[in-house]
Chains A and B, each alone.
Chain A
Amino acid sequence: NAGVMQNPRHLVRRRGQEARLRCSPMKGHSHVYWYRQLPEEGLKFMVYLQKENIIDESGMPKERFSAEFPKEGPSILRIQQVVRGDSAAYFCASSPNKNTEAFFGQGTRLTVV
């Protein structure tokens, strides 16, 4: 049973480009969460999605960031016009329902140059 799969593992973008981060949850999990970890900072909640629905995006910056979890395919976290401050590790987690343990993927380390 594969765990949470994220790709790419490492992503380098120039300022102003777009970054697309993908997350496939564990089999049987329909709840997906995105967290961001800045250097020397704790993990911060960004967004919670179920299939085709954004449940809570209160932790996501209002501009340039968006997330989706389509009926078919992985969840996507999209960052438009990236800036240096977006450089961080982005982790996706999934759970079978909203009140149970969440398991994390390997993360995508975004570097903006």
Chain B
Amino acid sequence: QKEVEQNSGPLSVPEGAIASLNCTYSDRGSQSFFWYRQYSGKSPELIMSIYSNGDKEDGRFTAQLNKASQYVSLLIRDSQPSDSATYLCAVAGSGAGSYQLTFGKGTKLSVIP
């Protein structure tokens, strides 16, 4: 059974601070990792994808991947109230099942003005 674990939160950070969201996964063969943002009552919105070890930066977002530790993280710099949402970590399956995403339950982030 493939599992993706996230702290459910809520994670509260003041405006302008760095928010750090973490995710661990069980499938050692996974090669593709994604972060989605989901506002309450809305659909998941893809914000970052990462495929190789290390850091990947896109604007205020940085994704970090460590395959040896089976760990993915998302850093949000200069957090804004509009970043308040649930962040979903998604891991693609390995091998022939690479199309199938396994999602964590999400971490609810609250950015306090």
Whether A and B are associated in the same complex: the answer reads yes
Where the two chains meet, the residues of A that have a C-beta atom closer than 8 Å to any C-beta of B are 31, 33, 35, 40-45, 48, 55-56, 59, 91, 95, 98-99, 101-107
* Residues of B close to A104: CB separation below 8 A: 36, 43-46
Where the two chains meet, the residues of B that have a C-beta atom closer than 8 Å to any C-beta of A are 4, 32, 34, 36, 42-46, 49, 88, 90, 92, 97-106
Does A102 contact B98, Cβ atoms closer than 8 Å? no
Given A42-B88, A101-B34 in contact, is the A107-B43 Cβ separation under 8 Å?
yes
Does B104 contact A42, Cβ atoms closer than 8 Å? yes
Does B43 contact A33, Cβ atoms closer than 8 Å? no
* Residues of A close to B105: CB separation below 8 A: 40-42
Residue of A33, A42, A56, A106 with highest tally of chain B CB at under 10 A: A42
Q: Can you list 10 A-B pairs with a CB-CB distance of less than 8 A?
A: A31-B99, A42-B88, A43-B90, A56-B99, A101-B46, A102-B46, A104-B36, A104-B44, A104-B45, A107-B42
Given A42-B104, A42-B105 in contact, is the A99-B45 Cβ separation under 8 Å?
no
